[in-house]
Structure 1
Amino acid sequence: MSTNLNLAPVPEVLTHRTSARRPDESDVIRRRAAAGELTRVARGLYAESAGWAALRSSEQHLVRVRSFADRIQDGDLVSHVSAAVVFGVPLLTPPPTRVHVTSTGADRRTTNATFVVHADLDPEWNRPVVTTSDGLLLCGLERLATDLALTLPFADAVVALDALLCRAVERELVRAAVARRGQKGRRRALRVVEFADAASGSPGESYARARFDQFGTPAPVLQHRFRSAGEPDIVVDFWFPESGVVVEFDGSVKYQRSEYLHGRTPQEALVDEKLREDRLRAFPEVRRMLRLTWSDLLNEWVLRAKLRQAGVRMSR
């Protein structure tokens, strides 16, 4: 069972809560919200507008989860997409405004302005429970993978499960847990579990692979190594040996974040990438190279056209 429980850092944004016990203070909060200084982020919860606007959607959801920890009923576990956000698991679709929890040991389903409460459909899968330093109770990573496979659309679930497999989640445990659930969503969930691959290098690569599957391409080789004597190996995101096509996903972070730059300037990184591409094109088995961005992945017709032009076969 996975023990890779690194949690996402809590964003630094100042929040304020209204309360019937503090009417004067609550009136001040509402006036500041009316003036645009504060943003209402949930019922009774406001954040400093400038700080809130600077947060990514996952960070905003994390603030909601942490802010309402004291409203979660005893024994309930933060679960589903909310647990994914706390664990720092990537999500393709921005998380909702409501916090998702599972009511352990009970068949209780509730939706209100703050929470979506899921019934406990697999009581034997409640352990181990993860407790954060500030007392937040979370489902474990295998339980999280199971819930996401059963509730998210295929591509969204692939993005999340690829990342979870990278964190040592055991595929067999998730497969068995999915099989124990009811019929609803089980076939699609089992397909997600089989399709997920820890070799995926990023959420963008995971989504690209789901799109390739949607179009019926041959299954690409992930992280394929091209080797030549006296030169460092070149590892590519996707290799389609049948058509001789290398596909690389170019997220903008590759030329912006320090962990990708390795001490280089963005300009130096671009030059290195050009030299790497020249070396790749020199391999006789490489006929074409295709670079994809998030914009390409999100536009079905553009993506199909680029794959077709590169010579990648599609059956759907």
Structure 2
Amino acid sequence: MLSSDAFHIAPLGPDLVAWAWQQWFMDNMNEFIVASRYGLESGSVRELSRRYKKGELVRVRKGIYVDKQHWLGLKPWDRYAATARAVAAENPSAAFCFETAALFWGLHIVGVPSHIHLATASRGHCGTRSPSTTAAVGPSGSTGLERIRTYGTYRHYYPTSTVSLRGLQVTDLPQTTVNVLARGPFTKGVVLADHAISAKRFPTLATSKDALARAAESLASKAKRQRVNAIIGFADINSGSAGESLSRAQMHLLGFPLPELQCEFHDALGFVARTDFFWRDQGIIGEFDGDAKYLKDEYLRGQSAREAVLAEKKREDRLRAMGFRVVRWDWATANDPAKLGAKLLAAGLRPQNTPKRTIHPRVRG
């Protein structure tokens, strides 16, 4: 995205980060009514059963309740995260892995996982479990949960060491990243890998390509190691957002030449912009426009959405006056290779390679 100022996140010291994480976890855990704790405080859990039967509460996990209207109002990603926290509340010793561990680390992953992923050292306990989220049937004959997605658990036979994060047991950051990369397609992998190595977007926690490559050595499959190492090699610390990472991965698969990232432009009046993508030899600038750019305060920096759009137009006019062509797209286009390819071709960008055939691994869970 074009930016007149670099977006900066001040790094926090380890102690402050640990405190912030603990506070975050406690704040989120307070969304639940835990039957065991409620019983100690009130002397009885009958009130919970009564409220559940009246349709006021949802039972997310055994003994873990939440206000029904709150639950129904959550977006799918938030509901997935809340389910994972409920699993942790039910079983504090649970070891999280794969996409669920990535969620707790705060990594960017594309799409909502279908299960809460847990690691177990017992072959007898691995496998899937159906969603346990339930609500009582109301007068209308409906629970209210029929049209929303609920999440079961997937226990993987994965005897591995874990680290403590926000009071949870999770696989460490490099291993979590590599495990998710090995399970998904190239495009989603690039989004994750770019984020994991970016100290700017992932302050105090960012890992390195070398650490990811070492973690990849633990993968049992040669094919998975090759696929993961290809993603690691392609990852770029200069990618500014998940949408930019996804766009760059699509460009690569479509055979377009790779652009320079985060280039600065100046004219006679001074600094003009820092751009997402720049094809120097073709004089083309590419910009990914996410919704947050015009809706979130940290991007607006005191401007209204209308003022931000106007400022963006003025910067683009200055770039065009310098002789550059500018092409823009959004999430819907970045997610659709055909649309993105058509957009880039219309801007005058030409593929330099034959589009690459990708194999999307079948991933259970």
On whether the aligned pair clears a TM of 0.5, the verdict is yes
Large movers: runs of 4+ above 6 Å: 3-6, 105-108
The C-alpha deviation readout for 1:27-54, integer Å capped at 9, x for no partner, is 4354344xxx445656775532332244
C-alpha separation in 2, matches of 1:73 and 1:12: 12
What percentage of residue pairs aligned between the two structures are identical? 28
C-alpha separation in 1, matches of 2:54 and 2:284: 57
Match 1:101 to one of 81, 97, 118: 118
Match 1:271 to one of 269, 294, 310: 310
Contact (CA 8 Å) 2:29, 2:85: kept in 1 or not? Answer: no
In the superposition, relative to structure 1, how do residues 196 and 262 fare at CA in structure 2: closer, same or farther (>3 Å)? same
TM-score normalised by structure 1 residue count: 0.82
Higher relative contact order (CA 8 A, sep 6+): 2
C-alpha separation in 1, matches of 2:283 and 2:190: 25
Contact (CA 8 Å) 1:109, 1:119: kept in 2 or not? Answer: yes
What is the 5 A alignment of 1:62-73?
62-72=81-91
In the superposition, relative to structure 1, how do residues 210 and 17 fare at CA in structure 2: closer, same or farther (>3 Å)? same
In the superposition, relative to structure 1, how do residues 11 and 244 fare at CA in structure 2: closer, same or farther (>3 Å)? farther
TM-score normalised by structure 2 residue count: 0.72
Give me the CA root mean square deviation.
3.0
Contact (CA 8 Å) 1:110, 1:116: kept in 2 or not? Answer: yes
Deviation at 1:185, TM superposition (A): 2.3
C-alpha separation in 2, matches of 1:227 and 1:268: 22
Contact (CA 8 Å) 1:237, 1:248: kept in 2 or not? Answer: yes
C-alpha separation in 1, matches of 2:54 and 2:256: 54
C-alpha separation in 1, matches of 2:156 and 2:68: 31
Q: Larger deviation: 213-222 or 45-54?
A: 45-54
What is the 5 A alignment of 1:185-224?
185-224=224-263
C-alpha separation in 1, matches of 2:286 and 2:345: 13
In the superposition, relative to structure 1, how do residues 243 and 29 fare at CA in structure 2: closer, same or farther (>3 Å)? farther
Match 2:156 to one of 118, 123, 131: 118
Contiguous gaps of at least 5 residues in structure 1: none
Match 2:53 to one of 21, 31, 35: 31
Deviation at 1:279, TM superposition (A): 1.4
Does residue 281 of the first structure (1) align with residue 303 of the second (2)? no
Q: Larger deviation: 201-210 or 136-145?
A: 136-145
Contact (CA 8 Å) 1:11, 1:59: kept in 2 or not? Answer: no
Does residue 169 of the first structure (1) align with residue 169 of the second (2)? no
In the superposition, relative to structure 1, how do residues 49 and 230 fare at CA in structure 2: closer, same or farther (>3 Å)? same
Deviation at 1:175, TM superposition (A): 1.0
C-alpha separation in 2, matches of 1:25 and 1:303: 55
Match 1:156 to one of 185, 188, 192: 188
The C-alpha deviation readout for 1:73-132, integer Å capped at 9, x for no partner, is 74x521211112222212211132x321223698963322342122336x4xx36x1332
Contiguous gaps of at least 5 residues in structure 2: 1-13, 131-151, 356-365
